[in-house]
């Protein structure tokens, strides 16, 4: 039996980093926000899970500044495990909790490439789960598994664990997606089909928070898959280590959503560091999955009829086997070709304007 516990979706301010040394400044701030969050949130039930949003360690300077991919590998990408995960592990040991975070990272099999990765640290300070972002938008330079598809399959196989890894822990089964991956139903569904009970989905920039996308997607991913969704988002963003004043480019609204799609905690204010916290009841989730014949859809999937949707590819695989990801201008051109492909296939109709 898993006792009830408190989960925290951290909402820290972040500074865009120019060197790996700058990351420590963000981690120092994360320490303060964790300490403040645990101080109150542990009064009723112990805090066993802390989720840190995408960008909280390094910022998003590679995307905002359109940095050269290989330059970013050499100056900013980190190793997992490494110095930064060791620093975060101190809080796991101090509070006997699990911690989820994200970073742009190196990969030993792909020289001069960085990937966007989320990772889970256990109470002993060990990294026990690492996932790699599979969907990026046109301004993100990260390599994704689809970009190196043939090599990825060679390394990890063609199975759920290669793309939708889930870790069975003493606080439940945990899977990790972030940002753009939450824009699509498939990544969360892949985790659910691999057993996830808690899905980490972090960070969305404006206007996705103010126009409601962030909430809609987080609630839908929870409801689709009868899972908890822990969704931390960034507070304010200092575009480099130096500025005295930040920009509220993310809008906050860190939230926790239960397995029925109900928001059970939401920090709506985005302009200052804070958190959302709520009790997690894994046994109640498991009982609901067993009992519900209506609001619980994974059991009903008639999978054969959905395979037809994806038989014909849209996005070209292996784009980065022999070269780094493109910069903004070239990437925009690539995405425009995908739009035209959908029009040429008759899936979309070209406008008359």
- 229-241: per-residue pLDDT in tens? 999 999 999 888 7
pLDDT above 70 covers a percentage of the chain that reads 99
Alpha-carbon span 41 to 311, nearest angstrom:
47
Phi-psi region for residue 283, left (φ > 0), alpha (ψ -120 to 50) or beta?
Answer: alpha
Mean pLDDT of 18-30: 94
pLDDT at 247: 86
Is it the case that residue 83 has pLDDT exceeding 70?
yes
pLDDT tens string 272-301: 899 999 999 999 999 999 999 999 999 999
Mean pLDDT of 96-114: 97
Is it the case that residue 79 has pLDDT exceeding 90?
yes
- Does 250 or 146 have the greater pLDDT score? 146
Mean pLDDT of 57-69: 91
Grade residue 328 by pLDDT with cuts at 50, 70 and 90. confident
Cα separations in angstroms, 338 against 86, 138, 278: 41, 12, 41
pLDDT tens string 168-185: 999 999 999 999 999 999
Structure tokens at 72: 């970013």
Is it the case that residue 75 has pLDDT exceeding 90?
yes
Alpha-carbon span 215 to 233, nearest angstrom:
11
Alpha-carbon span 250 to 90, nearest angstrom:
28
Non-local (6+) Cβ contacts of 40 within 8 A are 277
CB 22, CB 15: distance < 8 Å: yes
Strand boundaries in 203-347, DSSP class E: 228-231, 237-238, 254-257, 263-267, 274-280
Ranges 111-120, 238-247, 321-330, most confident: 111-120
Mean pLDDT of the chain: 94
Report the topology of domain 5-344: Nitrilase/N-carbamoyl-D-aminoacid amidohydrolase (3.60.110)
Mean pLDDT of 4-32: 95
pTM above 0.75, yes or no: yes
Q: Three-state DSSP class for 299?
A: helix
Grade residue 270 by pLDDT with cuts at 50, 70 and 90. low
Non-local (6+) Cβ contacts of 191 within 8 A are 164, 166, 175, 176, 177, 199, 225, 227
Going from N- to C-terminal start, the domains of the chain cover 5-344
């Amino acid at each position: 039996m898993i006792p009830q516990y408190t989960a925290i979706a951290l909402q820290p301010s972040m500074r865009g980093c120019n060197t790996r040394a700058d990351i420590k400044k963000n981690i120092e701030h994360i320490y303060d926000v964790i300490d403040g969050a645990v101080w109150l949130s542990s009064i009723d039930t112990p805090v066993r899970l802390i989720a840190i949003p995408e960008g909280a360690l390094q910022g998003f300077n590679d995307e905002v500044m359109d940095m050269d991919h290989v330059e970013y590998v050499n100056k900013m990408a980190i190793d997992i495990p490494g110095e930064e995960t060791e620093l975060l592990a101190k809080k796991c040991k101090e509070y006997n909790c699990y911690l989820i975070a994200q970073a742009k990272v190196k990969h030993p099999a792909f020289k001069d490439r960085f990937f966007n990765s989320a990772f889970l640290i256990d109470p002993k300070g060990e990294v026990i789960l690492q996932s790699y972002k599979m969907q990026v938008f046109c301004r993100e330079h990260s390599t994704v598994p689809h970009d190196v598809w043939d090599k990825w399959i060679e390394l990890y196989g063609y199975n759920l664990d290669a793309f939708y890894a889930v870790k069975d822990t003493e606080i439940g089964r945990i899977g990790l997606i972030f940002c753009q991956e939450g824009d699509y139903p498939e990544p969360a569904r892949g985790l659910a089909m691999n057993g996830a009970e808690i899905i980490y989905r972090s960070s969305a920039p404006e206007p996705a928070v103010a126009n409601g996308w962030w909430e809609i997607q987080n609630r839908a991913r929870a409801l689709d898959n009868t899972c908890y969704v822990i969704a931390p988002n960034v507070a304010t963003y200092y575009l480099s280590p130096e500025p005295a004043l930040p920009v509220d480019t993310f809008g906050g609204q860190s939230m926790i959503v239960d397995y029925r799609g109900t928001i059970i905690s939401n920090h709506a204010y985005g302009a200052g560091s804070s958190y959302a916290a709520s009790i997690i009841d894994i046994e109640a989730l498991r009982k609901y999955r067993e009992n519900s014949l209506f609001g619980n859809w994974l059991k009903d999937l008639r999978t054969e009829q959905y395979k037809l949707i994806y038989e014909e590819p849209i996005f070209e695989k292996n784009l980065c086997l022999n070269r780094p990801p493109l910069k903004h201008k070239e990437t925009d051109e690539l995405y425009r070709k995908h739009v035209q492909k959908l029009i040429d296939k008759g899936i979309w109709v070209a406008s008359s304007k």
